[in-house]
Amino acid sequence: MTTPPGKTSKPAATKRQALRDRRRQQHQRQRLIIILMIVGAALVVAAIMIVPSLLPAGDIVQITPISRPMVDGRALGDPNAPVTIEVFEDFQCPSCQAYSEQVEPQVVDTYVASGQVYYVFRHFPFIDDGKPRQESDQAANASMCAAEQERFWEDHDIVFANQNGENLGAFIDRRLTAFAREIGLDMEAFNACFDENRFRDEIEADLASGRSLNVTGTPAVFLNGQILTPGFVPSFDQISEAVEAALAESGN
């Protein structure tokens, strides 16, 4: 049988329609799979960010507050001292924990207390870059809210005492808030400051300053603007040698 010009046989049209239907169904399935994958990824991210905040704060390592000379926010000592030491740190950094617990106290007791060194903590929160939970940034945020109540160094100590690695949940918001409570902060004032991230600009200014000085890791210790032992954590002896040389150069 011959099909008249301009006409399509019914069996052929039915096959083409069935093919179009199958293709449409395949596209629909592909779109559904993509949507489910996007929703699944969003749920995973949400779980990473939200679930830890619903868990108990967990055990907290206690600290014994120590006396420091001439505390002024994040600075210690006499701002007119002949030597200034600035240390860029990330609260999640294990080397920063070791430096702050082992080397820093010797520097403070030997040179800051004597009026020879002005000592400044600088924020360099970078370990959480690209991570769903901003633990480095939030730890810095909490410390600045403690500084607002003149308790930066107590927060500094309890945060480092409770460090357990990088991006492992040690510094989720609930724990940072628990640390603030443990050191006796006014929690209403702290929570308002913390939720507002009131000192974001100051933290970012420290970060920008560190980058301008080519800081790529922490702790980065600068003495009168010059970095000590780049790429390595300086020992107390190395810092002492540099301080003594700077004091001699200044005639002190």
- What is the pLDDT, as a whole number, of residue 35? 79
* Angstrom distances, CA of residue 30 to CA of 22, 26, 33: 12, 6, 5
Report the range of poorest mean pLDDT among 14-23, 55-64, 98-107, 204-213: 14-23
Task: Indicate whether 43 pLDDT > 70.
Answer: no
Structure tokens of 9? 């046989």
Contacts of 19 (CB under 8 A, 6+ apart): none
- Digit-coded pLDDT (tens) for 156-195: 999 999 999 899 999 999 999 999 999 999 999 999 999 9
- What is the pLDDT, as a whole number, of residue 50? 57
- Digit-coded pLDDT (tens) for 17-41: 777 777 877 777 777 778 777 776 6
Tell me which CATH code domain 75-250 carries: 3.40.30.10
Report the range of poorest mean pLDDT among 35-49, 72-86, 186-200: 35-49
- What is the pLDDT, as a whole number, of residue 30? 78
Element at 122 (helix H, strand E):
strand 117-123
Amino acid letter at 50?
Answer: I
Any idea which residue has 């939970």 for tokens?
A: 133
* Residue 1 or 112, more confident: 112
Mean pLDDT of 135-143: 98
User: What is the 8-class DSSP label of residue 108?
Assistant: I
